[in-house]
Amino acid sequence: MPTEEPRPASRRATNVSLDSDLLREARSLGINVSRSAEAGIAEAVKRRKRERWLEENAAALESSNAYVDANGLPLSKHRQF
């Protein structure tokens, strides 16, 4: 199955307030502040989406776990390990 090449993300300038000492240190270390902030925000978005999905699907997960607790895994008799 061929994988799609990711499209380049469009970039947009924005204002962000950062701790001045941290910003100074990052710049002195040659860290790309914009890319680092973007990576941190992307990770926060990923975490929050996961949390939200777990919240929204908690009842289904609980129901599925209760079924397995009561009845075992479906098709477990066919497992070879």
pLDDT score for 51: 98
Residue 1: pLDDT above 70? no
Report which secondary-structure segment, H or E, holds 27: helix 20-28
**Cα angle at 39 between 34 and 45, to 5 degrees?**
125
Query: With contact defined as beta carbons under 8 Å apart, do 37 and 16 qualify?
Result: yes
**Cα angle at 5 between 48 and 14, to 5 degrees?**
50
Report pLDDT digits (tens) over 26-77: 999 999 999 999 999 999 999 999 999 999 999 999 999 999 999 999 888 7
- Angle at which helices 58-71 and 33-56 pack, to 10 degrees? 60
Residue 8: pLDDT above 80? no
What is this structure's pTM? 0.70
